[in-house]
Amino acid sequence: MAVIPTAQAADKVKAGAASSAPLVKVDKAWIRATVPGQSGTGGFMDLTASRPLTLVGFGTSVASESELHEMAMDGGVMRMHPVDALPLPAGQTVSLSPGAGGHHLMMMGLKRQLKDGEEITLKLKLRTADGKSLTQEVKVPVKSGAAGGASAMHDGM
């Protein structure tokens, strides 16, 4: 997986510069592969920020909509709902993982099938404690995953 640090505002960082460290360390990243006609899927990863940041969204060219989602109990039923932001405390790993009780990246309105083994570019949208907007590009592998989790709840959208 390639991490390409980029930034907007005063924290301008050159993409691919040898001396620039990523704003967020990304580990165990993957996007769930889809079947023909499937319109949504989930992305999962561990994020560790080098300083206090907030994940406020993400974008990708393979989907018309992208949202941060959380799985939570609602009246005894596990439901998925969008969240506006996810705090990333400095030095602490925040996991976006499939299954109950967690956060994930939701891609909806897929423009094509995502196949096992390909790599998708995501642009993580971040905000600093003082309100600056930053982005970080991450190349994430597509992998086949077990049934259930985020993509199963949105299949056939």
Going from N- to C-terminal start, the domains of the chain cover 3-151
Question: Residue 95 pairs with which residues in a beta bridge?
Answer: 46
pTM of the model: 0.80
Strands (DSSP E) along the chain, which ranges? 3-7, 24-32, 40-49, 53-59, 63-74, 77-83, 86-88, 93-96, 103-110, 119-128, 133-143
Distance CA 6, CA 90 (A): 18
Confidence check: pLDDT of 65 > 90: yes
What SS3 state is found at 155?
Answer: coil
Over range 50-55, report the average pLDDT.
Answer: 98
- Domain 3-151 sits in CATH at 2.60.40.1890
Query: Which is more confident, 66 or 148?
Result: 66
123: pLDDT confidence band, cut at 50, 70 and 90?
Answer: very high
Q: What is the arithmetic mean of pLDDT over 48-61? A: 98
Task: Give the residue with greater pLDDT, 12 vs 109.
Answer: 109
Q: Label residue 121 by pLDDT band (50, 70, 90).
A: very high
CA distances to 3, 8, 79 from 70, in Å = 24, 27, 8
In the block, tokens 């790993």 appear at 93
